[in-house]
Structure 1
Amino acid sequence: MNKLLLAFLFFGLIASVTISMKIDTRMQNEKNLQDIPLCLICSFAVDKIEEYLENKSNTTIIVDKVEKDCDLLKEQNWIGKCESLVAQYGPEIIQLLESNESPEACCKLIELC
């Protein structure tokens, strides 16, 4: 009887841990899906910043121009996210690009991709 009870408890514990792991994985996947727009927006911003850096614009002008370019993302309803991202990370992205980081690396370095 004790062995049966122990076996039942053991398998119950394993089932509980397995379910918990599946929930954690699902929650992580949902978080990753939520991060996708930020990664795409960051890539968009990096491309625009790189374009304006070629024109030798200063940081303030570049950030202002890229924030205006965020209007191009209106169909995805990402304008607000884009403007916030550019305001917060624009100067850092500019520094990264000026220090010869690749555009692909910029969003990873600021942990948006």
Structure 2
Amino acid sequence: MKKQYIFLTMAALAMAATACGKKPEADAAPGAAAAISGETVYNEKGCVTCHGAQGKGDGPVGAALKPKPRNFADAKWKNGTDLASVIKAIETGIAGSGMAPYKGVLSDEEIKAVAEHVRKLGGKN
């Protein structure tokens, strides 16, 4: 039973890592002013796999992580709740946690959109 749990956990982590590393598709023409949805990026680029759909840290991969992913509904956040702090956490990751850096994986616009969405999930907007 323990081997099966370890296998399933590793498979889930591998799927999440694969989803996180995908480069954005270039559907829009260069210079097109398309609005980026933070919710869409959050769901499609893998944030949801750890943080969960409602940002409560209860995603399918998040259950296996130590420490658990951030529950955005918590009143205090270790790295700050203002937009600049959330952007920095997404760009650089958080040492000692499963939060990887996304600078270079997501565009600056995607990072800002996700940061705004995360703050909204936590009632910080």
> Structure 1 length as normaliser, TM-score?
0.33
**In proportion to residue count, which structure has more helix?**
1
Task: Give 1 or 2 for the bigger CA radius of gyration.
Answer: 1
Between the two structures, name the one with larger relative contact order (CA 8 Å, sep ≥ 6): 1
